[in-house]
């Protein structure tokens, strides 16, 4: 993956990933004893789910 994992983000999925990062961080801090939960990423074909998840993973890996 390129140095800029969000290169080609024509659907602006970086904002979605940033929102989810904040949401999941705050949720974890508020509910540390929770055993788990399900987070669904749902959209029609071609709306950037795979691109977002791969780029998000790359972005988090740089932190």
Instruction: Give the mean pLDDT of the chain.
Output: 93
Give residue 2's pLDDT: 57
All residues at 6 or more sequence positions from 14 whose CB lies less than 8 Å from its CB, including other chains: 6, 55, 59
Range of the domain at 22: 13-61
pLDDT digits (tens, 9 = 90+) for 22-47: 999 999 999 999 999 999 999 999 99
Asked if residue 50 belongs to a domain, the reply is: yes
What pTM was computed for the model? Answer: 0.84
pLDDT at 63: 79
In a domain, 20, yes or no: yes
Q: 5 in a domain, yes or no? A: no
Number of domains, the chain: 1
Task: Evaluate whether 21 touches 58 at the Cβ level (below 8 Å).
Answer: no
Q: Look at residue 29 and tell me if it is in a domain.
A: yes
Q: Report if residue 57 sits inside a domain.
A: yes
Residue 2 lies in a domain: no
Residue bearing the bigger pLDDT, 62 or 58: 58
41 in a structural domain = yes
């Amino acid at each position: 993956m390129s140095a800029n994992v969000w290169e080609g983000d024509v659907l602006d999925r970086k904002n979605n990933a940033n929102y989810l990062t904040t949401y999941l961080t705050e949720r974890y801090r508020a509910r540390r004893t929770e055993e788990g939960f399900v987070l669904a990423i749902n959209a029609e074909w071609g709306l950037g789910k795979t691109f977002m998840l791969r780029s998000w993973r790359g972005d988090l890996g740089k932190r």
